[in-house]
Structure 1
């Protein structure tokens, strides 16, 4: 019996003693082409991180359009206040802005699902004979909400390249004063990630 058990171990030991069939060899790299010394491939390196501290003022790229939910002036005023809280000031006349801003507002419908598990227990309690039965019935309810979605885009004033984008949503309300507060919250949430870390 011991011989049968030691036979696989002996075969394993013999296999470890045999020479490796793999040979470590390689061919030298070919020489670089002569034009490689004069050519710089920018795609081989990541882009330099953007310095958001150099952006100090802004202007509208295009005036925000109004909608049935809120007029463009309210959206423009709310976004301007949010940018002001982040240290961005409106550009003085006659100067090119560091940033160009655009904002849009839309009303969308969202579906949400809530799951509730309703169940029951039949049998003795925890100090009885410990028999019983438990059953659970999931109840899934779907409801729909109307939300406002605010999207803010910032572009470099010199190159017109996109610099940053953010969006957020808030629950739609019927009251005019609550709408202004919902819009302010949505703009604040959309701008909460500016400037990015």
Structure 2
């Protein structure tokens, strides 16, 4: 008897809630397309064609790099030029237009390195046949922090015709304080490792 009495108010409440929705779905129509839309190709809608790096044969300096620390400007120019030549790029002759312009930045950074060693010792008595080992074992971690100079080279190649940067590479080499020319050769090899890109 109680259930029908509960159901009746619920049904009346639901009937009272049914009313017309005050919100209407309306939209403004899209404006018509321009008249030239069907005749024009929108190149921004497509990814750019991959660059053909085989067409780049010669290069020249956009701004010649300067020496740094132990390295003179002549050493820097010679080593970087040799690295580019090993990648198939020839330096343009004076007065000749180059396909690429090169820009290089050299800097020496101080890096912190850490080495971690565990030193331990054992003191006590042990019997091999009975495996009775009594003693004390201790281990002490030793962390050493040291600073090393690292040569960092950033090399940018710019299309001489369009003025757009087409490639960039960064290379690092340690041991700059002891063998600066070898460090620059290593940094150049590391920077040009992925040139030309596949």
TM-score after normalising by structure 2: 0.69
Equivalent-residue separation in structure 1 for 2:57 and 2:141 (angstroms): 54
Map of 1:88 onto structure 2: 89
Q: 1:32: how far off?
A: 10
Q: 1:38 to 1:113 in 2, by over 3 A?
A: farther
Q: 1:49 to 1:135 in 2, by over 3 A?
A: farther
Q: 1:192: how far off?
A: 1.7
Q: Tell me if structure 2 keeps the 8 A contact 1:64–1:73.
A: no
* Pairing 1:1-197 to 2, within 5 Å after superposition: 34-35=33-34, 37-38=38-39, 40-120=41-121, 128-129=131-132, 136-170=139-173, 171-174=175-178, 178-197=179-198
Q: 1:140: how far off?
A: 1.7
Spell out structure 1 runs of 4+ moving beyond 6 A: 130-133
Structure 2 SS opposite 1:192: coil
Structure 2, unpaired ranges of 5+ = 1-28
Map of 1:7 onto structure 2: none
Map of 2:8 onto structure 1: none
Q: 1:180: how far off?
A: 2.0
**Higher helix proportion (structure 1 or 2):** 1
Structure 1 SS opposite 2:104: strand
CA deviation profile, 1:103-129 (whole Å, cap 9, x unmatched):
222121110111223344577588715
Q: 1:82 to 1:47 in 2, by over 3 A?
A: same
Equivalent-residue separation in structure 2 for 1:182 and 1:145 (angstroms): 13
Q: 1:194: how far off?
A: 1.0
Q: 1:135: how far off?
A: 5.2
